[in-house]
Amino acid sequence: MYVLDANVFINAHRGYYGFQIVPSFWDKLIDLANDSKICSIDRIQDEIINPSSQDPDELHEWTAENFRSYFEGTDATDVLLAYAQIQQWANDNPQFTPAAKEEFARNADAWIIAYSKAKGHTLVTHEVNNPQSKRRILIPVVCEVFGVSYVNTFEMLRELEVKL
């Protein structure tokens, strides 16, 4: 199972797989989710679907209409324990700035890593591993520390042998 980060949806929508350019990409996401090959988490849903938005964008609307049931909850004990370990590691790590630690505590990154770790899934993100980063705690850096496998969208599509 692959767990999709927000940037997978956002980058595809804004760029290379826009709804009008490659609608088959979005159809394939639904097919893969129906086949239990991909999902995401509730915290990512909160980043994409903004209920207070007066003018929801196309990604918001597509996600709310088509992908809402594929966002898994993060309230299971195994996920909460993994999240606590990840946050403890981040807070204790002198490499990162206080601002980086605050951002990491606020956003969905630690949650998606914790979910992937707890469930033994592969995380899909477009973040690039940079172990020297100080101002941002990057998903691949944390994945490396906690033994969570990760790939980008293109690697996931290849591994799943998707043809668009």
Please check whether residue 22 lies inside any domain of the structure.
yes
Domain span at residue 119 reads 77-151
What does the pLDDT read at residue 52?
A: 63
Same domain for 143 and 119: yes
Residue 56: its pLDDT value, please? 79
- Residue 82 sits in the same domain as residue 100: yes
Q: Calculate the alpha carbon distances from 130 to 27, 108, 133, 144 in Å.
A: 33, 19, 6, 11
Total domains in the chain come to 2
Same domain, 144 and 83: yes
Same domain, 64 and 96: no
Residue 164 placed within a domain: no
> 93 and 57, same structural domain?
no
Residues 63 and 21 in one domain: yes
Phi, psi (deg, nearest 5) at residue 56: -65, 140
Residues 90 and 132 in one domain: yes
CA distance 42 to 76: 12
Q: State the pLDDT at residue 33.
A: 98
| 64 and 99 fall within a common domain | no
- Name the pTM for this structure: 0.94
Residue 143: Cβ within 10 Å count? 22
Do 82 and 146 lie in a common domain?
yes
Q: Which two tokens stand for residue 88?
A: 């403890």
Based on the domain organization, do 81 and 147 belong to the same domain? Answer: yes
> What does the pLDDT profile of the chain (164 residues) look like in tens digits?
999 999 999 999 999 899 999 999 999 999 999 999 999 999 999 999 876 666 778 999 999 999 999 999 999 999 999 999 999 999 999 999 999 999 999 999 999 999 999 999 999 999 999 989 999 999 999 999 999 999 999 999 999 999 99
